[in-house]
Amino acid sequence: MKALRRFTVRAQLPARLSGLAELSVNLRWSWHTPTLELFESIDPALWVSGERDPGRILGEVDPDRLSALAEDDGFVRRVDELVEDLHSYLDRPRWFQKQVDGGADLPSGIAYFSMEFGVSEVLPNYSGGLGILAGDHLKAASDLGLPLIGVGLLYRSGYFRQSLTADGWQAERYPSLDPQGLPLRLLTDDAGAAVLIHVAMPAGRVLRARIWIAQVGRIPLLLLDSDIADNDVDLRGVTDRLYGGDQDHRIKQEILAGVGGVRAVRAFTQYENLPAPSVFHMNEGHAGFLGLERIRELRSDGLDFDDALAAVRASTVFTTHTPVPAGIDRFPADLVRLYFGDGGSGSSLLPGLDMDRILALGRESDPALFNMAHMGLRSAQRANGVSLLHGRVSRGMFDELWPGFDADEVPIGSVTNGVHAPTWASPRWLDLAERVAGRELMEEARGWEKLHEVPASELWATRNDLRGELVSEIRRRLRASCLERGSTEAELAWTDEAFSPDVLTVGFARRVPTYKRLTLMLRDPERLRALLLDPDRPVQLVVAGKSHPADDAGKALIQQIVRFADRHDVRHRIVFLPDYDMSMARYLYWGCDVWLNNPLRPLEACGTSGMKSALNGGLNLSIRDGWWDEMYDGRNGWAIPTADGVDDARRDDLEAAALYELLEKSVLPTFYERGTDGIPERWVDMVRHTLETLGPKVLASRMVRDYTVQYYGPASRAGHAVAADGWAGARALAGYRRRVDAAWLAVTVRDVEAEGLPDTPVLGSALTLSAGIDLGGLTPADVTVQAVFGRVDSDEQLHDVVTVPMTHRGPVDGVDRFAAETELPLSGAVGYTVRVLPHHELLAGDAELGKVAGPATV
Ligand SMILES: *Cc1c(COP(=O)(O)O)cnc(C)c1O
């Protein structure tokens, strides 16, 4: 019989164990080993079968067992100690509280918006890297004490669960979640009723959502849920699935996340008596509508659209995560008109906002489309990519928004992603690190580098133990998968012997879009087979990953791997494990000796799985893409050479051959070369070097500190500057922008004179440049004038430019003259020009407005 409805009934906890309830609802347990061990000890078998979920343990454990534990003084004491430890974690001042600025300059709050959050497998509200990154961001913000609030949606089914059919095809299931059974609480009003936020829909309808709060350490995560009886049936389904449905479904989700998200933040800070956030961070463009809602708020406070936009931009940070134009979220402009227009009724989703202004924010080269990334960039003064390389790629990809600037001047910076050590490092490494660095450093996720002090024998023993645990986990999952695919117990004795705890183990696990090239390793199946079956130095390979349900090409790649791994000759050395998620990923990162990544460069914006492996002493074997491009140092792993400038098939051939060769000539020999003590000395050196040098750099705490110092702090200060004196700054900035827009066509460099240049100039020769500038009605203080030197190519284009500021020397014959004395900064074929940029103290930089004027072209 199928249940009509499911719900969760919580057990009554004996009074002496009431602390368990508190421990189970704060998701800090998900990265706090002692708390995890406490829950496990309640019922170890149930712990495993219940997917390591404290809420389920408390719901399903035998009441007699709970009564017995309530009588066990030792157990009760551990509960009380852990509750006390949690309180101390929540209350004690942390890194953020110790910043010298001590107040005014630090954000009063940061609202961090993301369409997915991967905090723990018990809350499967994520599909992959983006969501897990957002989860790690919250956890690191908690460890550092940031006043951050996460904002997203609660999906009824989260992302799908993957299994395999007998012939290796991906099958999907969407188990539905019961929020009551999750570590969530509802935001309620003073009378105890659920707070609902309202968002207007076309044709006079209303979409309502309740607000669940997941407590992630110190950080509240607000999750909007439309599945309530107050909504029309179709609107109840808005939060049904992550990345499911058509464009119409998606825009509703993004309106709810962005517009509804801001309203949820307002309700939450009001009911919980918290200050309003001073910074809004869009993690990717999906929640970009939040900027429009904030403009609406300010419009109703009496600001005009321009003033409101200036105010919103100052305090918004936008992070882009894709290096490919096809990866950007775009909606038909007509769909935006449908949802944001008034349909002639006079009432709309965002009253007071002119449709043309809305559309202009998302404009791109195709006028029929509305581009969410462009909207993100236009509604934020500060933007970044997620690795040095991705920052560079993004500057090129979005340079159309800054016409007249070279790509490297486009104001998009970068903060390289990081991973949350307590979540991703095995408890063994965390214990070792605490032993050598001390608890205090580890609490702030510092001191990781001290792991290099651990003796070689212990490092190696740890690696062996972790590989052994992984092999047991592989056997367990392999067996389950074979049964699911139709094998019988009697045929599966071989799975007990599959994989070996002593064989070099390579991991490859990630989503399966084409650019990640899941099947590159199969390019030459015989060569791979020889590597797997080498009698002296074999390799074993564990592969996992989900394909988007609509992506049959991706599913075909999975099938290729599964079919190869099904072959009887190699099945004990290569496996595809279905249902890659956080719970599986953990074992892979802990146990794999080598983490393989072979994307098509530069399509991996950052990549984080290799960082998690590195935290566990895994060595990366990767194309130099994303984070690896900046962090590979020749001794912490291997770089697979990239074959640029050839067609795709040949590129795959060349890069696969390079991969096999690295395995044969370097990876395997280093692993299997043992000293008399059985320890592979060179390997352990590389592990130690990885822990020491990468450990500190790949941490999410480093990432969140970078965001705080480079983005949140400046955005908060800019936000205060525009808000002061009744938004005087916003009005001034908007007025300035209007003046620049009106004047700019007339701004030109009339003439440029160079004086003092000798006949045969040498590097460092002094020269005076002077230029007459027509300011088109702007004042000298409204602009920056620069002399620009660079190497010239055959097209007279300047490269490797050096800019020198020119100062105003007054009007001469009615023309403003600017001049600079300088020394020739470059040698070779050198050229120069003069340019004018808008300048205002409330702009983040002179390139921000995307305007530049030069000499009139003849
Ligand atoms: C870290 C992680 C990812 C992201 O890995 P990439 O290297 O960015 O592809 C995806 N899924 C899970 C479960 C992860 O833990």
Residue 756 confidence class, pLDDT cut points 50, 70, 90: confident
Sign of CA dihedral 50, 56, 57, 61: negative
pLDDT tens for 470-490 read 999 999 999 999 999 999 999
pLDDT at 440: 75
Q: Which atom of ligand 1 sits closest to the CA of residue 511?
A: 9
344: left (phi over 0), alpha (psi -120 to 50) or beta: left
State if residue 510 touches ligand 1 by the CB under 6 angstroms criterion: yes
State if residue 129 touches ligand 1 by the CB under 6 angstroms criterion: yes
Residue 26 confidence class, pLDDT cut points 50, 70, 90: very high
Residue 304, pLDDT above cutoff 80: yes
Residue 443, pLDDT above cutoff 90: no
Do the beta carbons of residue 294 and residue 730 sit within 8 Å? no
Residue 733 confidence class, pLDDT cut points 50, 70, 90: very high
pLDDT at 6: 64
Q: How far is the CA of 323 from the centre of ligand 1 (A)?
A: 17
Q: Going by CA atoms, what residue is nearest to atom 5 of ligand 1? A: 609
pLDDT tens for 774-791 read 999 999 999 999 999 999
pLDDT at 104: 54
Range name among 416-430, 609-623, 753-767, 800-814 with the lowest pLDDT average: 753-767
Do the beta carbons of residue 94 and residue 141 sit within 8 Å? no
Q: Which atom of ligand 1 sits closest to the CA of residue 129?
A: 4
d(CA 741, CA 187): 45
Percentage of the chain exceeding pLDDT 90: 84
Q: How far is the CA of 844 from the centre of ligand 1 (A)?
A: 33
Q: Going by CA atoms, what residue is nearest to atom 4 of ligand 1? A: 129
Q: Which atom of ligand 1 sits closest to the CA of residue 582?
A: 13
State if residue 16 touches ligand 1 by the CB under 6 angstroms criterion: no
Residue 1, pLDDT above cutoff 80: no
Residue 757 confidence class, pLDDT cut points 50, 70, 90: confident
Q: How far is the CA of 608 from the centre of ligand 1 (A)?
A: 6
Which residues have C-beta within 8 Å of that of residue 305, sequence separation ≥ 6?
Answer: 295, 299, 353, 354, 357
pLDDT tens for 525-548 read 999 999 999 999 999 999 999 999
d(CA 19, CA 711): 38
Percentage of the chain exceeding pLDDT 70: 98
Query: Rounded to two decimals, what is the model's pTM?
Result: 0.96
CA neighbor of 684 nearest in space, from 467, 501, 507, 459? 459
Name the more confident of 291 and 450: 291
Name the more confident of 306 and 857: 306
Residue 388, pLDDT above cutoff 70: yes
Q: How far is the CA of 214 from the centre of ligand 1 (A)?
A: 22
pLDDT tens for 813-833 read 889 999 999 988 888 888 999
DSSP state of 182: S
Mean pLDDT to the nearest integer, 731-750: 97
pLDDT at 8: 67
Do the beta carbons of residue 809 and residue 818 sit within 8 Å? yes
Which residues have C-beta within 8 Å of that of residue 799, sequence separation ≥ 6?
Answer: 790, 791, 792, 793
747-858 CATH = 2.60.40
Structure tokens at 511: 């989503």
Structure tokens at 674: 């043992």
Q: Which atom of ligand 1 sits closest to the CA of residue 424?
A: 15
Q: How far is the CA of 74 from the centre of ligand 1 (A)?
A: 39
Domain boundaries, the chain: 15-91, 105-414, 455-696, 747-858
Task: Decide if 105-414 and 455-696 have a common fold.
Answer: yes
Q: How far is the CA of 580 from the centre of ligand 1 (A)?
A: 9
pLDDT at 800: 87
Mean pLDDT to the nearest integer, 252-261: 98
Mean pLDDT to the nearest integer, 745-756: 94
∠ CA 378-114-337, rounded to 5°: 50
In three state form, how does the secondary structure of 409-471 look? Answer: HCCCEECCCCECHHHHCCHHHHHHHHHHHCHHHHHCCCCHHHHHHCCHHHHHHHHHHHHHHHH
Pocket perturbation via mutation, ligand 1, pick of 426, 609, 613 by most ligand atoms within 8 A of CB: 609
pLDDT at 444: 67
CA neighbor of 482 nearest in space, from 592, 569, 572? 572
Mean pLDDT over each residue of the chain, to the nearest integer: 94
Q: Going by CA atoms, what residue is nearest to atom 1 of ligand 1? A: 609
d(CA 756, CA 754): 7
pLDDT at 101: 57
Domain 455-696: which CATH number of 3.40.50.2000, 3.40.50.1100, 3.30.750.24, 3.40.50.300: 3.40.50.2000
pLDDT tens for 601-649 read 999 999 999 999 999 999 999 999 999 999 999 999 999 999 988 999 9
Mean pLDDT to the nearest integer, 687-694: 93
Q: Going by CA atoms, what residue is nearest to atom 8 of ligand 1? A: 607
Do the beta carbons of residue 802 and residue 823 sit within 8 Å? no
d(CA 228, CA 154): 12
pLDDT tens for 27-54 read 999 999 999 999 999 999 999 888 899 9
Mean pLDDT to the nearest integer, 497-508: 98
pLDDT at 74: 97
The residue type found at 644 is D
Domain 105-414: which CATH number of 3.40.50.300, 1.10.3720.10, 3.40.50.2000, 1.10.730.10: 3.40.50.2000
Do the beta carbons of residue 541 and residue 509 sit within 8 Å? no
Q: Which atom of ligand 1 sits closest to the CA of residue 597?
A: 7
d(CA 375, CA 320): 11
Q: Which atom of ligand 1 sits closest to the CA of residue 604?
A: 8
Residue 745, pLDDT above cutoff 60: yes
d(CA 479, CA 738): 67
Residue 687 confidence class, pLDDT cut points 50, 70, 90: very high
Size of the chain, expressed as the number of residues it contains: 858
State if residue 609 touches ligand 1 by the CB under 6 angstroms criterion: yes
CA neighbor of 509 nearest in space, from 476, 470, 480, 549? 470
The values of phi and psi at residue 791, to 5°, are -75, 140
Range name among 404-418, 635-649, 743-757, 758-772 with the lowest pLDDT average: 758-772
State if residue 319 touches ligand 1 by the CB under 6 angstroms criterion: no
Pocket perturbation via mutation, ligand 1, pick of 510, 596, 600, 625 by most ligand atoms within 8 A of CB: 510
Residue 749 confidence class, pLDDT cut points 50, 70, 90: very high
Pocket perturbation via mutation, ligand 1, pick of 423, 608, 629, 698 by most ligand atoms within 8 A of CB: 608
Helix (H, G, I), strand (E, B) or coil at 143: helix
Q: How far is CA 394 from CA 201, 381, 477, 739, 813, in A?
A: 34, 16, 40, 29, 44
* Number of Cβ within a 10 Å radius of residue 792: 15
Structure tokens at 617: 């002493």
Mean pLDDT to the nearest integer, 134-143: 97
d(CA 608, CA 628): 10
pLDDT at 7: 64
Strand partners, 770: 753, 819
d(CA 707, CA 736): 29
Q: How far is the CA of 287 from the centre of ligand 1 (A)?
A: 21
